[in-house]
Amino acid sequence: MKKRFLGILLCIAVVASLLVACDTKDKSTGGKGGDKTIGVCMPTKTLQRWNQDGENMEKQLKAAGYKVDLQYADDDIQIQVSQIENMIANDVSLLVIASIDGDSLGTVLAQAKEKEIPVIAYDRLIMNTDAVSYYATFDNYMVGTKQGQYIEEALDLKNAAGPFNIELITGDPGDNNAKYFFNGAMDVLNPYIDSGKLVVKSGQTDFATVATAGWKTENAQTRMENIISSFYADGTQLDAVMASNDSTALGVANALTASYTGKWPVLTGQDCDVANVKNMIVGKQSMSIFKDTRDLADQVVKMVDAIMKGGEAPVNDKESYDNGKGIVPTYLCEPVFADVNNYKELLIESGYYTEDQLK
């Protein structure tokens, strides 16, 4: 009887140990996500691309078995800080943050570091904090390079005599990515500006002057209207506008439609927003950099899984992105450009948009 009792106790102990092992394995591997919640912080819903980013992140993280706390901050830094504080208080397992202002999150992320919550900076590098574990983005310098090269080829700058008139519009001065976009484009365009083949009639060429607060369409439109009335109202031809993204390009297109009478200039953009693709189809925008947020979300989920399993996230750049506290290990996805010749293949056939959405 005693042996039988001891045998039963041994069986109970074995079963209990197996259950603990299974529970530990599930929580450590992240294979099913367990009870782990991933906090996803997006800057705003006012720009189409952040809605798509948030939706793709939530969809893919849930498919991987995680719970998701997705928040949008209405382009308000204090709202984003408060959202992150709440996520930390609620013991999320990891934070994925697309910051509004890369310099404004150091204090709140110190709380995350204290609680050993890993942080992945999403598409915008978070600056001046050692709490950022990884960075996932598209190759932002390459985005600008492709925009500059598109203008270079469209105007045949290597062969044409010129001169050609160009104006420059980039993004929010608080967004570290805007500097990468601008520098990539200007490294292509500056030699032509220096030689006089490209002329900036407004004289506005430095980043601070050509930056657009909040990436807002109305801000870009107002500045472009002022440039047109001051330098192109007499019939002077504007040959190109280097706009760093689609919200600023939309502002440029609105200004041109309202007050410019010359031949439509080459106009760049980024994000392939619906309104801009429609403009591209009718000839009011030349190109837009396509950053397939499904690819970026997929990569971030792989990074989350690796971290939740106790390993290191996959990266392909350990040199380029210094946030002021050190190099942040980074995964770079490669952007491509869409124009009227290839948008159907890139955007419709890939399932990113339906044909009806672009009518």
pLDDT tens digits, residue range 228-242? 999 999 999 999 999
d(C-alpha 273, C-alpha 200), whole Å: 27
Domain contains 2:
no
Q: Which residues contact 43 (CB under 8 A, 6 or more apart)?
A: 50, 72, 73, 75, 80, 98, 99, 100, 124
**Maximum Cα interatomic distance, the chain, rounded to a whole number of Å:** 107
d(C-alpha 329, C-alpha 131), whole Å: 12
Domain contains 246:
yes
Q: Are residues 262 and 296 in the same domain?
A: no
What is the structure's pLDDT at 21?
41
With a cut of 70, list the residues of the chain below it in pLDDT: 1-34
Q: Are residues 200 and 281 in the same domain?
A: yes
Tokens of 151: 């203008």
Q: Are residues 127 and 148 in the same domain?
A: no
What is the structure's pLDDT at 33?
58
pLDDT tens digits, residue range 79-103? 999 999 999 999 999 999 999 998 9
pLDDT tens digits, residue range 155-179? 999 999 999 999 999 999 988 889 9
Q: Are residues 286 and 298 in the same domain?
A: no
The domain in which residue 263 lies consists of 140-290
What domain count does the chain have?
Answer: 2
Eight-state DSSP code of residue 178 = H
